[in-house]
Structures are given as C-alpha cells and as structure tokens.
Structure 1
C-alpha cells in the first residue's frame, strides 16, 4: 500500500485513507506548484477555529463517532 508523509505531523498517511488530503501550493510570481500530503485532522488543527470548513475538510462519518 502506498503511503505519504504528512507535512504537518510527519506520520504516514495511506493513499486509501479517508483522512488523506492534498494541498497544492503555488506562488503568484513563480510557475508550477508543490503538492503537500496531509491528514485532514492535521490541516484542520492548523487553521484558526473560526475558519469555515467546506465539505472537503469536514469530518467523515467515521471520525464523528
């Protein structure tokens, strides 16, 4: 099974995990982008609490239990 290293916590995040998210980071003055693999929970924890979460960042049913 393929896994990536979370850019926030440094732990493995598996390609089949419902928690896997991919951030595409770019700079206005440069071409291209960099992909960062992260756990959804790590990304949400890094955001300020009042930041509105859309469907991509809301917890899965399994995480709500």
Structure 2
C-alpha cells in the first residue's frame, strides 16, 4: 500500500460513523497538548488511528498488510 492508506481508511470510517467520530475530539486535544512536539503527538494518536483502522479493515473486508 502506498502513502497513508491506513490513515485514510480510518478517516473514511469516522466519516461513515458519526457516533464514533465524536471521539475525534480526543485527537484534537492531543494536538494541543503536543503542539510543539510532533513525535509525542504521533505516538499519542497512534492507538486512536490503529483502533479505527482495524475496525474499518474488518467492516470493509480490506487487507492492509504491507506488500513486500
């Protein structure tokens, strides 16, 4: 997979599930907390993105395993 497909997949999932998208506020809070620390922000949001990427993967039956 090229680019940030897993992140795009998670975003598409959140758009399709407004009730889940309300949790996106957590990510925005992390952005404020880690405003000047990109690595800290990336690490803190990782579990959020992973959670919804995995849910989207299951719902859309998509294999997001990187190709070798």
Q: What band does the TM-score fall into relative to the shorter chain?
A: under 0.3
- Select the structure that is richer in helix: 2
- The structure with the largest strand share of the pair is 1
Larger RCO: 1 or 2 (CA < 8 Å, sep 6+): 2
- TM-score for the superposition, normalised by structure 1: 0.26
What TM-score results when the alignment is normalised by the length of structure 2? 0.26
